[in-house]
Structures are given as C-alpha cells and as structure tokens.
Chain A
C-alpha cells in the first residue's frame, strides 16, 4: 500500500466564462504528494490556488488537466468520501439546524447506526466545546462557534484524511489555539491533515510539511523544519549571562573564526502572552496587572 494519501500529478485548472473562453488559470501543473500521518500546509497569498486545490481534491471542481488520487481513488469517486473529512472555508452548513441536528444529519450520510451517531455527536460537541449551545440553531452562532461545529461535522466519520480550508480564519486567539491543538491531536491519532492558510504563524506551529503556491504554481515544498532552518548560523540558548561571560564567549568564538552577532533575551509570541493573560485572569478573577508586570502562568 502506498504511503501517499494524496497524489497530484500535473494538475491544472482554468476557469472559463459562459462561452468557454479561458478566464483565469487558477492552477498550473501542480504535482505533489501528501504522506500518511503528516500535517501538510498549503500556503500562498489570496488567489494563489490553495482553495482551488482543495476543491479539486474533493471533486467540487473538475481538473482541466492532470490527475488527482486520494486514498488510492480518483477525486470524482464518491466512495472515497467515506474516509475524508472536510472543513470548508466558511463552514457552509444548514443554518436552520442546531448543532445536534447538524451532526446527526451528516452522520446519517455515513454508515453509522443511531447509537453510533449519538455517541459520536456527544463526543464531538464536547471536543469542540459547544455543550452549552447544542440546541441553538446555527444562524445564532458566532463565527468561532460556526468554525467549531464545522470541524465537528468534518470529523463525524472519524476520517483518515482531514482537509481544512483556512481552519483558523476568523477565530480569536483562544479559538485559534484550540483549533491548532485539535489539528495536532488529529495527527497524534494517526490522521493525515491537509490545511490551507495564509496565516503563516499558524502553519508554522502545526505543519510538518508545507507547499507554497503563488499564482497557481508550486514554488516551494518541504518540511517546515528544513525550510526554515538557517545552516549558516548557530543559535545557543543559555540561562541569563553576565557581561563578562558574554565577553569570554566572544573571545572563544573569535578563536574558532566565528563572530558573535547578537546577544539578547528571547521573546515569546504575542499569542503566548495573550493566552497567559487569559489563563491568569481566569485563575484569579479581578486581578489587574501593573504597568510592566507580566503574567507568568502559562497554559
């Protein structure tokens, strides 16, 4: 059995107008593979072809040229969908249903018994944190809640492959963190995840490999670690040093033909600061931080 969950060969997509004249070439000879058990990120600016690629994978669009195989089947094969979960960019769900009904409806489309559906619905609603809103119609949901129920419906069939289109789009930092945690959990559970995003930090946080598209063409592909690593420089992280120690180190470096470029204190991300602040505030309601004071408790 091939280790590749997705195989794309020379995939091109040309959007045409009513008269069949080419309008936009959204994708140009894209070839890539996604391996089993990895989190694969499709990156690129708006209009680079990320969403088009996902839609071609799902059979929502037909390729102009090239082939797409998912889980060993062609993209137009309906049966492949038994093993796939998809979170669309805008969570296109039925707004007149509530969360329970939504998950039950999508569960009915798979070979799931009533008891299985019930169990799965309960678990997923718990997982995405919508217990308090499960009886409310989706039209009353906020953007973040809609994304959560969208993810829940994508996971209703416990899929092998999960396709996520801009999963963190529109989410607040807490929601983003939750979503990223859930994506990592999926990988830890042996699932393959393909996500498209233009939020680079999110992709960097969770993806094992990425592909960068620009104007429909594949520009870069590889593991995040390899692509981001700078082999011309070395970074050493130590406990806090006194100025004399820094001078000694500089002399050692000179003896080895290297030079000290910067000495600074590492900074955490804004996301970490935000999450620590929220966690501290939840732990001690009413607490206010003095100017310059930083919350210390992390998640």
Chain B
C-alpha cells in the first residue's frame, strides 16, 4: 500500500472555506444585481434585496416538523419504488464474486481481494444509487407536479431541499448498513483460515522526518535507481549509507503500556545483480538516542518485499532488551530499558542500512512506522464504511442541490463529473493552481492575458516583459483569473480523503485525523453552501412556467 498522507488542518480549512464563501457571495450578489437591473430596470435591486431578505428568513426559521415530513415522504417513496432492491443486487454480486475470488489467490495476500471486492461493490452500487435518487427526485416531483401541491402548503423551499436530502441520506444509510453487515460476515466466511490473521487494523505512527546518509556516512540524499517516481530514496547495501527516521512527540507512556515496541517496514528492494536467489535482501535495524549517543543494534532482517503479512514485516522489540554494542558475537551483552533509555523526550531515532553490497533498500517516509496496539478488523471496516457514508452524503448534497436548477439527467452528469474530477484531478489542479499563484514571476509565459500579449507582440515565452503600467495591468488581470480559478476549484470537492477502502484491505486502521476528519469537514463544508444554492434555485424557479 502506498501511503501518501496529505496533512489536514481544520483551522486552515475553515479559513479557506470562509474566504471562498465570501468570494462566492460577492460574485453572486454582483451577478444578481446586474441581472435584475437588466430584467426589471430600476426596481431590480429592490427585488434582489427582497429575495435575500426572504431567503435569510427561510433559511433560518426552519421547521423540524416539516423537514421530517418531507424526509419521511422521501423514505416512503424509495420504499414503494423498491429502491431497496439494490440490496438484492449486492447479494447477487456476492454470490458470483465468491466463485472467482475463492480460489487461486496467493495465501499471503488472500484477505485483501475479498475486502477490496466488498468495499468496491458497496461503493459502486451505493454511489450509483446516491446519484440516481438525489438527482432525479425533485425533477420528477416537478414534472409530476406533486411538488406544486406541497409548495401551496406553508412549507419553505429550504425545508423541501433539506427534507429531501435527509430522506435520501436515510435511505442510503439503511442500504449501506445492510450491505456492510452482509459484507462483513461474507468476508469473515470467505477469507481462508490461513489468511484470517490479515484481518486486523494496525495503528501506525508515521514520521515525516526521514534523512539519508551517503555511503560514507555523511548526510545526503537517497539514491535514485532510475525511477521517475521519487517516492522512495535508495540506500546502498554494504556501505555506511543509512536511512534515518526520527519519530517525535511520541506518547511513550502509551507505548510502554503495550510492553513492547513494534516497528514495521514496507521497503522496496533493488538489485544490480541477482545474488542469492534463495535469500531476500537484508537490512540492519538500529535504534539510537542522539542525546546520550546510545546505539542499540536490534538485528538483521529480510525485506519481505512480496509479503503482505504484517507479522513478517514487523520487528518486535521487548521493553527490556539484551544487546551487544556491535554485530560481533563475542561482544559483551548489555541490558537496556528501551522506553526509559532510548526515547529522548518522546523522540526515537531508527536507522536502517543494507547488508548486501550492490543491492539497494528503497525507503520512503512512510515505509517505517511504529505499530501501536492493533484494533479489530471490525473497527477499521466500520470506519471505512463511515468514510463511504460521508461520500454518499456529499453526493446527495450536491445531487439534490443541482436537481433544483437542472433536470435529472443534467444533474446526474453534473454531480457525477464533480465526483469524478474530485477523485481524479482535484489534487493535481490544486498543485497547478498553487504553483501559479505561489511563484513570484508566475508561470512561464504568464497567464492567459500575458500569453495573448506575447502572441500579439510576437514575444517568446521567457523574455521578461518591460515594466510599465500596461504590463502591470496585464499581470494584475492574470492574477485575478488565477483567483477566480481557485474559487471555482474550491467548488470541486477534494475526494482524496474519502478513499478509505485501502485501509481495511491492507490491514490498517482508518485514521481519524488525516482521513475521517477531513472527509467530515468537506462534507459539512459543502452542506451549507449547497443548501443555500438549492434553496435559491428552487425559490427563484417558476414551478409552473410554460
């Protein structure tokens, strides 16, 4: 499993959200006033002010009773239209999936395909269901005109939007719970007995601090063995080259309570010659306290590069360790209390070197971690389902809101596209836009206005522009465009956090701080503006327009 942890700060996220909201509100107000002036002349702005005034009232004075009534109606609608039949489809998939997955898998990896299968099947079916129910419900109501009868009752349109959302969420929650329940027991039953130990939830403690020592033991960088992907740096075996991880701010009392220290690795091996085909690449593991200079060689271990078994890649170190100063077997044995003598104010340094010369150990920041006491598979599976549930909630929010201003098929395409872009491209767009704004000179050739200027004046992309009021204005316009692009980009949900199925599949606990909290924050962050968007779309729409 490739781990790429995107740090998430709730405070920064909240600030960014407020900025985007303010920008969106300002843009909407400007558009609203201009459009109203064009449509109604001088009375236009007064109409806009009235709409806003009523909107605030409608969004603040909500009736839980009426919201509940609409949600209950939605639930009944799904029930009567047999939306829950999707559960049967899920069961059918299990039946057929069992035939293909039950045989032929390597015993070492047996648990993963079963977990992935269940999570993927649930995701696909429920995402599809969420898209369809949320994008088609309100347009169908408008087409059948049943909504028209509802709005002649004292129901605020915000209550209809929220009630519909809650109803869809209720339906999806029920289906998710039922399918997750079946899926869990299916996994337990289908995973072979010799792979049941892979159904665990390891709790890793990673460190972002990885340094490399070169072959002479001096600080340097990890070697590149020809990969374009620079995720790992490589350490040359049989030399003084080392990969050094420094773990900081560890909760030593918690580790001590476990009575042992567990270090797990997921190194990659790179060979410049075949070597002994019967032996895996080996690495040395050393713990050290930089303050007291205490170095404790723990031992030599094989990389286990093709293993998914956590037990094979984990080194367990007892709290009281008998060791020798060097790898010389005749050296005197000593005893050390690792939690008392090795940990320096909650910090621990771990050093890894290769054994065989001309062979290389590939290491990234996340290839070495401390394993806290494991949690149950049920715990991580439930958290992964919670992540999926948050994704479904997000789809319902976006789908329901978009169905308030476009018809069902368009709303489905719009929501589906947002979800697709959010999963596949959002982080890349973030990076590109970040680069555009972050660099002082901007991108090569400038933004769209500067590029146009260069084209018209037949100037190449790298020659500096002359500094005058005209070129400064062009750069100012480009920065404005970048700013608008950033606001538009913020409308696309960052869904990298919602990919939770890899965690239980690989036997890891789904982390709260870097996965579930960002997912929850994004969902709530989209909920508020999309309720407002849905409300105004429905409120300003003439339901009976011919």
Q: Does A184 contact B (CB under 8 A)?
A: no
The answer on a CB contact under 8 Å between B65 and A108 is yes
The answer on a CB contact under 8 Å between A109 and B542 is no
Given contacts A24-B546, A61-B544, A96-B81, contact A109 B155 (CB under 8 A): yes
Interface residues of B in 73-95 (CB under 8 A from A): 73, 76-77, 80-81
Given contacts A20-B39, A105-B69, A153-B149, contact A94 B154 (CB under 8 A): no
The answer on a CB contact under 8 Å between B76 and A90 is no
The answer on a CB contact under 8 Å between A108 and B69 is yes
Q: Does A88 contact B (CB under 8 A)?
A: yes
The answer on a CB contact under 8 Å between B76 and A97 is yes
Interface residues of A in 175-211 (CB under 8 A from B): none
CB distance from A98 to the nearest CB of B (A): 10
The answer on a CB contact under 8 Å between A81 and B152 is yes
The answer on a CB contact under 8 Å between A92 and B148 is yes
The answer on a CB contact under 8 Å between B146 and A15 is no
Interface size on A, residues (CB 8 A): 35
The answer on a CB contact under 8 Å between A60 and B54 is no
CB distance from B147 to the nearest CB of A (A): 8
Given contacts A94-B77, A94-B146, A109-B66, contact A81 B544 (CB under 8 A): no
CB distance from B526 to the nearest CB of A (A): 26
Given contacts A96-B76, A109-B69, contact A59 B144 (CB under 8 A): no
The answer on a CB contact under 8 Å between B81 and A58 is no
The answer on a CB contact under 8 Å between B153 and A110 is yes
Name the residue of chain B whose CB is nearest to the CB of A58: B152
Name the residue of chain A whose CB is nearest to the CB of B79: A96
**How far is B539's CA from A60's CA once the two chains are assembled, in angstroms?**
10
Which DSSP category, helix, strand, loop or mixed, fits chain B's interface? helix
Please name all residues of chain B whose beta carbon is closer than 8 Å to the beta carbon of A153 when the two chains form the complex.
149
Interface string of A102-131 (1 = CB under 8 A from B): 000110111100000000000000000000
The answer on a CB contact under 8 Å between B77 and A84 is no
Interface size on B, residues (CB 8 A): 30
Please name all residues of chain A whose beta carbon is closer than 8 Å to the beta carbon of B154 when the two chains form the complex.
78-79, 81-82, 109-110
**How far is B513's CA from A47's CA once the two chains are assembled, in angstroms?**
62
Q: Does B68 contact A (CB under 8 A)?
A: yes
The answer on a CB contact under 8 Å between B76 and A101 is yes
Given contacts A93-B146, A96-B77, contact A60 B151 (CB under 8 A): yes
Q: Does B472 contact A (CB under 8 A)?
A: no
Name the residue of chain A whose CB is nearest to the CB of B144: A92
Please name all residues of chain A whose beta carbon is closer than 8 Å to the beta carbon of B428 when the two chains form the complex.
none
The answer on a CB contact under 8 Å between B149 and A15 is no
Q: Does A76 contact B (CB under 8 A)?
A: yes
Please name all residues of chain A whose beta carbon is closer than 8 Å to the beta carbon of B81 when the two chains form the complex.
96
The answer on a CB contact under 8 Å between B155 and A88 is no
Q: Does A55 contact B (CB under 8 A)?
A: yes
Q: Does B334 contact A (CB under 8 A)?
A: no
Interface residues of A in 54-72 (CB under 8 A from B): 55, 58-62
The answer on a CB contact under 8 Å between B145 and A88 is yes
CB distance from B152 to the nearest CB of A (A): 4
Q: Does B282 contact A (CB under 8 A)?
A: no
Q: Does B58 contact A (CB under 8 A)?
A: yes
Q: Does A86 contact B (CB under 8 A)?
A: yes
Please name all residues of chain B whose beta carbon is closer than 8 Å to the beta carbon of A137 when the two chains form the complex.
80
Name the residue of chain B whose CB is nearest to the CB of A139: B80
Given contacts A15-B545, A62-B542, A79-B154, contact A92 B149 (CB under 8 A): yes
Please name all residues of chain B whose beta carbon is closer than 8 Å to the beta carbon of A20 when the two chains form the complex.
39
Please name all residues of chain A whose beta carbon is closer than 8 Å to the beta carbon of B69 when the two chains form the complex.
105, 108-109
**How far is B544's CA from A251's CA once the two chains are assembled, in angstroms?**
63
Please name all residues of chain A whose beta carbon is closer than 8 Å to the beta carbon of B151 when the two chains form the complex.
58-60
Please name all residues of chain B whose beta carbon is closer than 8 Å to the beta carbon of A90 when the two chains form the complex.
145
Please name all residues of chain B whose beta carbon is closer than 8 Å to the beta carbon of A59 when the two chains form the complex.
151-152
Interface residues of B in 121-155 (CB under 8 A from A): 144-146, 148-155
**How far is B147's CA from A58's CA once the two chains are assembled, in angstroms?**
13
Name the residue of chain A whose CB is nearest to the CB of B157: A78
Given contacts A61-B542, A61-B545, contact A108 B152 (CB under 8 A): no
Name the residue of chain A whose CB is nearest to the CB of B156: A78
Q: Does B424 contact A (CB under 8 A)?
A: no
**How far is B546's CA from A95's CA once the two chains are assembled, in angstroms?**
23
B66, B144, B544, B546 pick with most chain A CB within 10 angstroms = B544
Q: List 12 A-B contacts (CB under 8 A).
A: A23-B546, A55-B544, A58-B151, A60-B151, A78-B155, A78-B156, A92-B146, A95-B144, A97-B80, A109-B69, A109-B154, A157-B153
Given contacts A94-B146, A95-B146, 13 further A-B contacts (CB under 8 A): A15-B545, A23-B546, A60-B148, A60-B543, A61-B543, A61-B545, A95-B144, A96-B81, A97-B73, A108-B68, A109-B66, A109-B153, A137-B80
Binding site for B on A (CB under 8 A): 15, 20, 23-24, 55, 58-62, 76, 78-79, 81-82, 84, 86, 88, 90, 92-97, 101, 105-106, 108-111, 137, 153, 157
Top 9 A-B pairs, shortest CB-CB distance: A108-B69, A92-B145, A96-B80, A109-B153, A81-B154, A86-B152, A60-B544, A82-B154, A55-B544
